[in-house]
Homo-oligomer: A and B are copies of this chain.
Amino acid sequence: MYLCPMKPLILITNDDGYRAGGIRALIETALPFGEVLVVAPAEGQSGMSHAMTVKTPLRLEKRSAAPDCVQYVCTGTPVDCVKIALNRLVDRPPSLLLAGINHGSNSSASVLYSGTMAAAMEGCMSHIPGIGFSLSDHAPNADFSPYLEQVGNIIRKVLQHGLRKGTCLNVNIPKIPVSDMKGTRICRQARGYWREEFERRTDPNQREYFWLTGEFYNEEPDAEDTDEWALSRHYISIVPVQIDMTCYDSMKSLKRIFEK
């Protein structure tokens, strides 16, 4: 009889790159729960969504190994990091995949663009429960420490209860004093989108170029069941995200049109 069963293996990645404060804070928070394997991008990969590297090969470099924590840097995207970890580095299926803590929010429609959430979804594909964490603070030196107790609580609950197959959690933390925090709320993804503006500039050779900029527009600011509402009311928002993108509600009417 084993008195000391094998510790749970926790795979950690992010999209801000290996050196980011957010992943450092996440590793520290995860370590009490098990053995940690970190595979993170060498450089920032924000806005990479579910992109994979198919045209160039990947490099993988072991950066440090300590008891219960081995860390690799990968030249690819967050999704590449998850794929190569699961395929080449793990000795057993991870019990949990953590991504983040992202420097900046990934609420509402940002779930589609986010490399952090894509990494969590990539875990779903292999039936590994995943959580993407984001703090609504883009600053490279953002202070994550006030929120780590809450992050730890969420990790503990997911390890305890698991998640429905094919789903992961999109956790967003508002940047407010912890004393003002009202708790956690299970939400749906708010309907909204990024209103893009492209700033037009002219280079020294008189050729024009465009910088992407833009701001988020919430289409339903009063909907109390959305992540945007919860965040604006000082809750940590948790949206269960599924990788099945089928719109089941459209199927009946589409059958009438297309299956005739």
Contact = CB atoms under 8 A, between A and B. Distances in A.
Interface stretch (A6-14, A18-26, A30-38, A43-51): A43-51
A259 B184 contact: yes
Interface residues of A, number: 77
B245 A52 contact: no
Interface string A144-188: 000000000010010001011011000000000000000111101
Contact of A247 (B53, B167, B196, B248): B167
- Protomer copies: 2
B251 A241 contact: no
Nearest to A112: B50
B191 A244 contact: yes
Contact of A240 (B51, B58, B238, B246): B246
Interface string A223-260: 00000000000000011111111111111011101110
Chain A binding surface, main DSSP class? mixed
Contacts of A60: 208, 210
Contact of A57 (B196, B211, B243): B211
B49 A51 contact: yes
Given A48-B51, A58-B209, 10 more contacts: A49-B50, A49-B118, A50-B112, A52-B212, A54-B212, A84-B196, A87-B196, A163-B250, A188-B251, A239-B246
Interface of A: 44, 46-55, 57-60, 79-80, 83-84, 86-88, 109, 111-113, 118, 121, 125-126, 154, 157, 161, 163-164, 166-167, 183-186, 188-189, 191, 193-194, 196-198, 200-201, 207-212, 238-251, 253-255, 257-259
